[in-house]
Chain A
Amino acid sequence: MFNYRILAVIKRELMEKLFSKAFITMTLLVPGLIFLMLGIQAFLYSSEKKNLRIDIITESNELTNSFLNDFIKSEYSKSGKYVFSFQTMNRDELKKYLEGKKKELIDEKLGGIVFVPTSALNDKKVEYYSKSSQNISLFKDLDGLINKTLIDQYFHNKTLSKEELDFARLGVDFTGFKVSEDEGIKEEGYGNLVLAYLFTFLLYISLLMIGQMTMQSVIEEKNNRIVEVVLSSVSPTELMTGKILGATLTGIIQMAIWLSPVILLMSTTIFVLPKELLFSININVIIYMLINFLIGLLTFIGLFAMLGAIFDNPQDASSGTLPVMMLIIIPFFIALSMMEDPNKPIAEIASLFPFASIIVMPARMTLVGVPTLHLILAVVINILTFIAIFPIAGKIYRIGILRTGKKPKWSEVFKWLRYKY
């Protein structure tokens, strides 16, 4: 199947694509963007407002003192995230106090005022005054602290052992465990979820980009009338094969570059990820993803080359590519929707479905354990799809490539399949 002609075409395609500005920019830009996004997240995480002033006001000195004792010991106070000050006053005095502090609150010099009325010892209802009345992260931070102090106060004069008190004080703590067939049960952070998003985006971007590039290059050959010169030396099948293989290699190189940071993070301990972002995947996932991607590229690039051959110019092509684009876009959204529940039936179906599995399967196997049978099945289905698609795409390519003039209707394109060329 390989001969010097195909090799020459592969070489040219590879050179043309690898050294094109679009390829270099995208290939370098995407990991850059990923690191930038991770960096921004880390930066936001570390640069949350410090020394946020919060006034804690209760109606009794006793309550104020016990808040004072508990809050000073809390890690928020120690880390300097919040600066608490404590006062005792009743509701009427609070109104005047709020009037006086209004300007500070609006200017955000004072982060907020928490009022714990004595009635809170019965109903645990506290009030929060601030420029923005809903501050979820602050509520989350203070919830436990206030609850603990209130519990202490409530049970203060009641005969309860320390153990009983400690239990009552405890909040509920969720720890995520991943259950999979081969690795046993493991604790993990958000890392795999981030990775699943990453894989989905990278596959999506690469398929679209390399596919479009191939289509443009076929259109260019057709549009510039190079194709007939080339066809006097190579057969249309050789040209198409060379183009597809050249573009596929380009895609694999691109993906390898994109995945190298992930592989680096997996294989070394030089880079320390925050605990929340730690991920645990096997290198096999990466290898599987690349194999699956390779087959997917071959199929999609074949389809894009076919589209390029049907149309004379990029304008006509842009509307005609929609059916093929959908085969990439729909799985992309399925993969995204799968993130919250990777065990959805649609995720399982899509991870085996021709075309869709290329994008959906890597994300799925990053999130949950996928039976080996499914993994093999997905690859077999993809190979069969490729085998079924290639002769059809090839035939349309062979006929379309030498046609010029009016944009053909799809019905005409189907008729080409019966032509003898």
Chain B
Amino acid sequence: MYSLEVKNLTKTFGKITAVDNANFEVPEGSIFGLIGRNGAGKTTTIRMMMGIYLPDNGEVVLKGAKIGPEFKSRVGYLPEERGLYKKMKVIDTLYYFAEIKGKRKNEVHKKVDEYLKRFELYDRRLSKVEDLSKGNQQKVQFIATILHDPDFIILDEPFSGLDPVNTNLLKDIILEMKQKGKVIIFSTHLMDFAEKLCDHIAMIDHGKIILKGSLKEIKQKYSQKNVSLTYNGDVSFLNHHPIIDKVENFGNTTGIRLKEANQTQELLKLLLDNNVIVKKFDANDISLQEIFIELAGKDEDNFKKEVANV
């Protein structure tokens, strides 16, 4: 059963097609990742799902019916570009964001205190937002996102600009929400996070969905003929070996693609024979990053640099 379906979404800005006939489905109770590099169309897709942009074509369907303005009050949304009213007090900010979601002060009053205490902001509740550190402002933002107890949580590049403490805090929130049965949708260009958190993904490139489905199934499908290797030594001899299709170096691990699925034992032997110290040899394993590069590999080198810089 799908909770949310995106059907034929298209959006153009002048001559640029930002999202091109995108289709994907978000299953109930899942963490869903919308994955793609910067400028692939993730934010535009999410903005259309939030009703911030009107799509040129297509629709977003919630349990069979096209979403309307009331959908917004059921969503907690954390955009990539986020901010708060600097001159407002922390507590007024939280009440305001709850109010525009249709929750009155006395409805959320207890929760506000609860969250502020949990995030160690309770004694700052009467401070102006501008007097808070950036990390604390982000915490206020998280609280504002989930305060009204939304059914859906949509996060656009949620981990960009977060310090490690807040990154973990947000991860906890996401997992907690999942346990409560909420649907979490987030976009990211960090494959690592997506791989760790998501149940389902859709991969977007140049505005088109190039891959979608359950992460597990996708990995299974792409991992055949693939070996993930951690080692000490020199493996350059593999580059032109007849059983090897491709070698990708990802720093800590190396992804090796074989020409046939039954050649894994042969590869292991080859490595040992060449005095490579094998620390980890994972047959039929592939990282999301490898899949992504394989599918959207045209600007592969640029992307690798981009990923390496993050």
The finding on whether chains A and B are genuine partners in a shared complex, rather than unrelated, reads yes
Among B49-94, those with CB < 8 Å from A are 50-54, 56, 69, 72-73, 75, 77-79, 81-88
CB–CB B87/A16 < 8 A: yes
Q: Does A103 contact B (CB under 8 A)?
A: no
Query: In the bound complex, do residue B86 and residue A229 qualify as a contact, i.e. CB atoms below 8 Å apart?
Result: no
A233: contacting residue among B13, B73, B154, CB under 8 A: B73
Q: Which of A5, A221, A229 contacts B77 (CB 8 A)?
A: A229
Q: List 23 A-B residue pairs with CB atoms under 8 Å apart, sorted by A's residue number.
A: A4-B99, A4-B100, A9-B100, A11-B99, A12-B96, A221-B85, A225-B82, A225-B83, A226-B82, A228-B52, A228-B79, A228-B81, A228-B82, A229-B84, A232-B75, A232-B77, A232-B79, A233-B72, A233-B73, A233-B77, A234-B100, A402-B53, A421-B54
- Residues in A neighbouring B178, C-beta threshold 8 A: none
Q: What's the Cα separation between A157 and B287 when bound, in Å?
A: 128
Instruction: Report the separation of the CA atoms of residues A127 and B161 in the bound assembly, to the nearest whole angstrom.
Output: 86
The residue that B97 contacts in the complex, of A220, A229, A235, A404, with Cβ under 8 A, is A229
Q: Which residues of B contact A220 (CB under 8 A)?
A: 85-86
- Measured between beta carbons, the chain A residues less than 8 angstroms from B54 are 420-421
In the complex, what residue of chain A is closest to B77 when comparing beta carbons? A232
> What distance in Å separates the Cβ of B240 from its nearest Cβ neighbour in chain A?
47
Name the distance in Å between B70's Cβ and chain A's nearest Cβ.
10
CB-CB under 8 A from B100, the residues of chain A are 4-5, 8-9, 230, 233-234
Tell me if B102 is interfacial: C-beta within 8 Å of chain A. Answer: yes
Residues of A within 8 A of B (CB): 4-5, 8-9, 11-12, 16, 220-221, 224-226, 228-236, 402, 404, 415, 419-421
Whether B144 sits at the interface, judged by CB under 8 Å, is yes
Bound-state CA distance A228–B77 (Å) is: 9
- Residue B187 lies at the interface, judged by CB distance under 8 Å to chain A: no
B128 contacts the other chain (CB 8 A): no
Could you tell me the distance in whole angstroms from the C-beta of B55 to the nearest C-beta in chain A?
9
Q: Are A224 and B83 within 8 A (Cβ)? A: yes
Does A225 contact B81, Cβ atoms closer than 8 Å?
A: yes
Given A4-B99, A4-B102, A8-B96, CB of A420 within 8 Å of CB of B84: no
Bin the interface of chain B by size: 20 to 34
Question: What B residues does A233 contact at CB under 8 A?
Answer: 72-73, 77, 97, 100-101
* Additional A-B contact list (14), CB under 8 Å, known A228-B79, A229-B83: A5-B100, A8-B99, A220-B86, A224-B83, A225-B83, A229-B79, A229-B141, A232-B50, A232-B154, A233-B101, A235-B69, A415-B14, A419-B13, A420-B54
SS class of chain B's interface: helix, strand, loop or mixed?
loop
In the assembled complex, the Cα of A225 lies from the Cα of B13 at a distance in Å of 21
Closest to A226 in B: B83
CB distance from B186 to the nearest CB of A (A): 14
Instruction: Enumerate chain A residues within 8 angstroms of B79, measured Cβ to Cβ.
Output: 225, 228-229, 232
Chain A residue with the shortest CB-CB distance to B86: A224
**Shortest beta-carbon distance, B248 to chain A, in Å?**
35
* Contact residues in B for A231 (Cβ distance below 8 Å): 50, 52
Most B CB within 10 A of own CB, among A9, A221, A225: A225
Residues of B within 8 A of A235 (CB): 51, 69
- Complex Cα gap A340–B66 (Å): 64
Inter-chain contact B72/A421, CB cutoff 8 Å? no
Residues of A within 8 A of B102 (CB): 4-5
Quick check: B83 and A232 within 8 Å, CB to CB? no
Q: In whole angstroms, how far apart are the Cα atoms of A236 and B72 in the complex?
A: 13
Q: Which residue of A lies closest to B75 (CB)?
A: A232
A229 to B47, CA, bound (A): 11
Question: Across the two chains, which residue of chain A brings its CB closest to B55?
Answer: A420
What residues of B have a CB within 8 angstroms of the CB of A404 in the complex? 81
